[in-house]
Amino acid sequence: MSTTVILGAQWGDEGKGKLVDVLAGNSDWVARFQGGNNAGHTVVIGNRTIKLHLLPSGITRKSCQLILGDGMVIDPWVLDQELKKWKDETEEEPDKDRLFISDRAHIILKFHRLVDGLDKKIGTTGRGIGPTYSDKINRIGLRFADLKHIINNSQWISEMCTLYNRVLNSLDIEEKITEIDLKNDLEWIHNRFGHAIKNTGVMLDNALKMKENVLLEGAQGCLLDIDQGTYPFVTSSVTSRANASHGVGIHPGHIDEVIGIVKAYTTRVGHGPFPCELKDDVGDYLTEKGHEFGTTTGRRRRCGWLDLVVLKHSHRVNGFTSLAITKLDVLGGLDTLKICVGYRANGAEYHNLPASITELENAEPIYIEMPGFPALNDEEWIKLARKANDENLGLSVLHPNAQSYLQQIENMLEIPLHSVGVGPDRDATIHLF
């Protein structure tokens, strides 16, 4: 029995889906514990690219049971579309026998998407995530467990329509929510997914008692955590280790391993401070070579050098047992590599991440420089990774400068490396554990 948590250690988009896909081969369960379809995980298997938004990345392994956990907010229409697409591609219907929706998860409705679409300041995905979490905290949200009890409750439906329309009117949104439309939506959700709604916390607890292996898949990254991130430019949920077990309904003592996923450089999507952002030819190089465009929105990601201030903060919050470095291959071809080891702002020097957004916006990175390493094509990287794994050669297959870069990260963070990704394909990973 083991429970492993996979977490983004930066601002998300680190490649969590790829590692979950790899580790799911030895897992019985993969569960999402927070967020919704504001997350996008990509898995590449040969010539096939799979883009996921709500479905756990373990879906690629038919032996894996899948859970959308208690802490999630779920858009049933998006989930339906994902499942239809999966059926078209594979002829499989996972919601019939191995995909389960927590009865404690909250439902994203049309109202939530309308409200979220107004955001211009934070740079959200506009998928209704924040407004649904807001209703959850205000204790007026709708959970999957309550669907069957309120479908025919005309008083509840009337009161919610009145409330929703009052909010929409205050925001100058002309579209309204009618009682008949809301009732029809609720009936559709229950008819479509009622068979998959379960007490998933009990299911996972029983699985662990049976000595089965569980993967808990995080969405976004530590720096987007509502409490520990670069507030207010964050997501609406707790993305960190403390919520991993809580968000699927098991206790934290079950967690054995926490793998932090770290891109070999740094990216973020949307607005907010980014001290290491590169608005030059190197930034453009990382964007184009790394295909840095959001899986969910298609937005161009902002790119910059690796930031150890961010990673030290993330490690303090999450207690990583190891790090999985991804996209090392993207740095190939650059003459010089830089690593941020601190900030200067307002006459002061910082080696811990400041909470103040003003201090972060004014921060100038302090860098150390290292020599770069040659570029390789995708097939050459895959060949190196396979050789390393087949012959147990580890990092020794890499160019000496690439080895030095990775060793510098490992030494300065004092966290062992779990694996190194050298391309998008499932096989383009050097395993070190």
Catalytic residues: 13, 41
Q: Where are the strands (E) in 237-347, listed by range?
A: 257-263, 266-268, 302-304, 306-307, 322-326, 336-345
Helix, strand, coil % in the chain, rounded to nearest 5: 40, 20, 40
Q: Judge whether 216 and 245 are in contact, CB under 8 Å.
A: yes
Q: Helix (H, G, I), strand (E, B), or coil: what is residue 34?
A: coil
Backbone angles phi, psi at 315, to 5 degrees: -70, -40
User: Chain-centre distance of CA 125, in angstroms?
Assistant: 13
CB atoms within 10 A of CB 380: 15
Q: Which of 22, 6, 37 has its CA nearest to residue 294?
A: 37
Cα separation, 60 vs 54, whole angstroms: 14
Cα separation, 61 vs 59, whole angstroms: 5
Q: Is the peptide bond before 94 cis (omega within 30 degrees of 0)?
A: no
CB atoms within 10 A of CB 251: 10
Q: Which two tokens stand for residue 151?
A: 């479908």
AA letter at 15 = G
DSSP one-letter string for 314-335: HHHHH--SEEEEE-GGGGTT-S
Phi-psi region of 359 (alpha: psi -120 to 50; beta: other; left: phi over 0): alpha
Q: Which two tokens stand for residue 263?
A: 């891109």
Q: Please, which residues bridge with residue 43 across strands?
A: 50
- List of residues 6+ apart from 78 with CB closer than 8 A: 37, 53, 54, 127
- Helix extents (H) in 91-225: 110-116, 129-137, 147-150, 154-170, 179-193, 200-209
Give whole-number Cα distances, 110 to 75, 157, 164, in Å.
Answer: 9, 14, 10
